[in-house]
Structures are given as structure tokens and as C-alpha cells.
Chain A
């Protein structure tokens, strides 16, 4: 076990294009389940591969615990990795695959056998140890990949979208297994995914990346409830966070022509426009007129099983909200939306950054996301 300190990591694949990873500094705490989340091409996998030593950064340093491993090849870093495409060796049996890392370290046979047994037990592969990977299902192969990584008892365990090649049902059950496994191992884990649900459900902390930078880093509930930028609010959550333009009028602020309360600390701003970020589940709809609520018209109702996803228009703006399944929202009916002021996240339209505590708008970029841990 050890913490991971990345300092000023920059990686370019082609000289003149934008860097894949742009001056990222972040510390992953000892024993933490740390998730790198972002759309494809945001640099999350490159960052993971830099920790692994499969890529060498153009600038910056990688520390694992007290060791500076920046220039070291992967085999000298005391890490293990689970690959997106499993990367299980087809010419070795399941047991040989799991024991591969220890065999390369010239561990005694007895020790390898014990480690294989332990790791196989963790992921329930005990009864297929003598088989070859070609005789296994995709889910089993991914288990072999996980067991192979666990067997070497690495100080850092890296996972690159390990669930993305599995079908939906398997993904769900494997996700729970991974979480239980992480608790059992209590090792430092860095986990890359583009799936926000995976990130929120697995991570102790989530770092949201975009265009080679970490935009925000915090606990799952922090990044979900208090997104630092409009991008984070839109990337996390299904549906994405609603953004309602709120404009300065003669007597106060209005949204879609209706009066809308803006907290005093933001009302004093110079600008004439703000964005109110509102999560779909935080909107309280009513079929009767409520004072101070925004009038809306229903465009579309999509039953999701446990909830209804209702698309409405407020003036010219479209807004999505989630309601209980028994909510009487018919197409084209009128609704009144109450938005609890404390659930609104305010953004500056110019910088697209949030306007409160966690925000340090204008001072730095990735810096705002760096943990002090």
C-alpha cells in the first residue's frame, strides 16, 4: 500500500496538438478507491498508463509512497493493472495466468500456489483453474485478469475500464464484487471509467477530467451535488443537470420571464446573466398554480420504471425533471415548478464555473481540483 503523488504530469502524443494530459497534479491517498472519470479522449487512460509506466510523461513526476518511480519501467513499480480487453494470456491456464506475476518474480512454488488459491477464491474461479481462457466466458476472463492483479499484492492496483466489455447485467454484479473486493484488499486503487454511475458507486473520491485536465476532484456526492463547472454538472447524472439562464431585469432577476430568486451574494455581481443549475430530481412540480413557481408546459413523458422523466418547456428553455410514477403529467398539460433555492447551483456564464465556496474562479485551472491529502 502507498499513496500516489502526481506532480505536473504532461503528456503529448503529437508535438503540435493539444496535450493528452496537461499539467495534472493530484494525490491519491493510501488505501483509497480513486476514480478517474471523463468522456473518451479526456486523458484519463493516458494518466493511468503514466502511473503504470506504460507511458512516459513529457514532464512531471510520479511518486508511489516515498519512491520516485518517474523513469522506472512498469515491472519495477510494484503495481498491478487490469486491462480493458482483459489481456489474459491465451497460452496459459487460468492458474498460470493468475500466478504469472509471482512466477516472474521467481517466488517459490508453494507461495505461488497459495497466492493463486487465495486470489482465485476472491473472484470465485476455484473450479476453472486448469482451463484455458478460450474455454471461459467474458466475465470469467475479466475475473482472471482481476485475480492476476490481486495475486501479486501490489501497493497500487490500476484498473482501465474493467467493466466496459461486459454486458449490462454482468457489469452490475461485477461492480458490486469489485467494491467488496476493494474493501477486502484495502489497497490503493486507481480506476478509469467513462461511466458516471460506476464512478459514483465505486469511488471514495472521483476526479472528473476534461481535455487533459482534472476539472474537479471530490467525494461522489460532492461532485454530483456541487459540480465545480457546468461541464461536471452536465457530465454527471441522468438526465444531466438543467441549466436555466437567469437575467437581470428592472426589478430583480427573472428566468424565462418569471421572477426568480437569486441569493444576495450573487445578485451583486456585475454581469447581467447567471445560470441556475438544477438537478432533475430537485424540482418540485405541481399541477396547480403555486405562488413563486415557474409555469411550464409538458412536452414529453418518458416512464423509466421507477420514475417518470418529464421534459417541459419554461418559456423558451427546456427543462427535465424526475417525478414519481403516479404523477399526473399529460402531454401538453401545464405544470408549476418550484425550485428550492438551497438546491440551486449557480454558474457564471462567462467562465462556466460555479459561484461559491469550492470555486476559485479565475485563479487557476486544474489547481482547484488538487487535493491536499
Chain B
């Protein structure tokens, strides 16, 4: 091995450790007894006790917060996909004046910090009667996820050859029928990946959710607000709950996400 490669691998190991070691200790803490959590130094290996986890999920407020989070995340995923699909399809299929400007404009919506928008948002949501509801949070999360998902979905559609749609039309489909029968089946994995991205973004989003909720906090908001008073096992278990879905989903859709970045994957 050359020095370059040693350096490269060494750097990779360092980076991985930098990310993974704290996460590992979260896992250790979440699956240890309370006694083990409070002992010093913390064991490097969990004793696979479910005590901390049981304590976390039965704590007052956690089940409701978890339920809110899941509902908000699913709503966000569904609504984002429903809105992003037509927009992404248009970007992928049609040449129209200002298409590039539109792409940029879609992304530039993310240039406004949520902090700046928080007060007006809260006011509007109060006026509309959706303040402190799962709908309100889901709406906000949809707005946050939409720009990225539109671009992801457009890459997915661009990867399905136009030929397929035209063939479907020639062989008996209407335009929409061709979309449904020729495009959707071939775009489905990519669309699922894009929706998953929105779900995860929503599940882990804390700032907007904390501004827009009071009695109906999502899980990250609930964990965050109680963080300073909560006992250690609660924090470890809570952290694991917030981390786990992202880890699992990324593991499952990793190849799809990479495919989306790399352009057309079909044919």
C-alpha cells in the first residue's frame, strides 16, 4: 500500500469514528440498566437491558409525541410526493421557457431561514386555526421538503425514457394512462426514496415544529424541551428513537438515493 492509500484509509476511519463513536454510546446507554448508565466510565458494550427504553416509552407525553411525529411524518411524505410528482414530471419532460429559472427558484425558497419566518408563520397558522395541530406542522414540513423532493423526483422521471410513454400511447393508452402504466411502475422505487426523504426530514425536524406546537409537540420537540430535566436513561433512549429511523431508511434506500444523484438508471 502506498502512503497515499494509508492516508486515505486512515482519514476515512477517523471520519467514520467521529460520527459513529457518539452514536455507539447512545446505543450503549439506551440498552443498559439505569445503574450501568450512571456508572463511570460508561461500559463499551451494552448489557442489553430494555429498562431504559421501557422507561422512555412509558414516560408521560412520549407516546402522544411519538404518535404526532409519525402522523406528521407520514402526512408530510404523502403530501410532498403528491405535490412534487407533477412538478418534477414537468421539469423532466417539458421544455418550457424559464425551466432553469424555475429549478433555481424552487431551491431558493430554502434561502429564507425558518427563524425569520417563524413569527409570521405562527400568526398565520393561528389565524387559519391550524396552530398546534399535526396538519400545521405537516404543512410546514412539506414546504421544507418540497424543493429537494421536486428535484429528486424530476431526476427519477428523467430516468424513465420518453419512448416508453409514447409506446404506451401508441398501444392504446391515453396520456395519463401512459403515465400510470409505463412511467409509474418504473419510477416507483425512486419515488418511494424521495418520499422517504421527506418523511425523515419531517421526523427529525425540530425548530419549525417547536414554534408551531404547544400541546401537541412532535417527538424531537418533546425530547428537546425536557432535555435539561430528564434523567440520563431517558436522554439516551430518546436519542436512539430519533436516530434509528434515519439509519434504517438510509440503509434501505441508499442505492436509490445514489441513483437519483447519478441521473438516469433505467434501460
Contact = CB atoms under 8 A, between A and B. Distances in A.
Interface of A: 52-54, 73-75, 79-81, 83-91, 100-101, 104-105, 145, 148, 152
Interface stretch (B12-20, B75-83, B167-175, B193-201): B167-175
B167 A75 contact: no
Interface string B173-201: 11101000010011000000000000000
Contact of A89 (B167, B172, B174): B167
A155 B2 CA distance: 68
Contacts of A148: 167, 171
Interface in B54-107: none
Contacts, number: 64
23 contacts: A54-B169, A73-B169, A75-B169, A75-B170, A75-B173, A80-B171, A83-B163, A83-B167, A86-B163, A87-B161, A87-B164, A88-B167, A89-B167, A89-B168, A89-B186, A90-B267, A91-B185, A100-B172, A104-B172, A105-B172, A145-B167, A148-B167, A152-B171
Q: Is the interface of B mostly helix, strand, loop or mixed?
A: helix
Contacts of B166: 54, 74, 81, 83, 87
Interface string B148-163: 0000000000000101
Closest 8 CB pairs of A and B: A104-B172, A87-B163, A101-B171, A87-B167, A91-B185, A74-B169, A74-B170, A81-B170
Given A89-B168, A90-B266, 6 more contacts: A54-B170, A83-B163, A86-B163, A87-B164, A89-B186, A104-B177
Contacts of A79: 170
Contacts of A101: 171-172
A81 B161 CA distance: 16
Contacts of A73: 169, 174-175
A91 B188 CA distance: 11
A365 B226 CA distance: 84
Contact of B167 (A53, A81, A105): A81
A269 to B, nearest CB: 49
Contact of B170 (A80, A91, A105): A80
Interface string B237-248: 000000000000
A90 B161 CA distance: 11
A145 B169 CA distance: 14
Interface string B125-168: 00000000000000000000000000000000000010110111
Contacts of B185: 89, 91
B186 A90 contact: yes
A88 B164 CA distance: 7
Contacts of A80: 170-171
Interface residues of B, number: 19
B180 to A, nearest CB: 12
A62 to B, nearest CB: 15
Contacts of B168: 89, 100
Contacts of A84: 163
Contacts of B177: 104
Nearest to B184: A91
Contacts of A91: 185-186
Nearest to A152: B171
A90 to B, nearest CB: 6
B171 A75 contact: yes
A56 to B, nearest CB: 13
A149 to B, nearest CB: 8
Nearest to A54: B166
A54 B266 CA distance: 23
Contacts of A86: 163
A33 B36 CA distance: 84
Interface in B211-267: 266-267
Nearest to A99: B171
A178 B170 CA distance: 20
Nearest to A134: B267
B170 A52 contact: yes
Contacts of A90: 164, 186, 266-267
B147 to A, nearest CB: 29
A75 B182 contact: no
B254 to A, nearest CB: 21
Contacts of B164: 87, 89-90
Nearest to B160: A90
A85 B174 contact: no
Nearest to A105: B172
A74 B266 CA distance: 25
Contacts of A74: 166, 169-170
A88 B167 CA distance: 8
A54 B170 CA distance: 8
Contact of A104 (B161, B173, B175, B266): B173
Contacts of A105: 172
B12 to A, nearest CB: 34
B202 to A, nearest CB: 30
A142 to B, nearest CB: 13
B219 to A, nearest CB: 37
B253 to A, nearest CB: 19
A52 B169 CA distance: 10
Interface string B26-40: 000000000000000
Contacts of B266: 90
Interface centre among B170, B175, B182 (most CB of A within 10 A): B170
B55 to A, nearest CB: 47
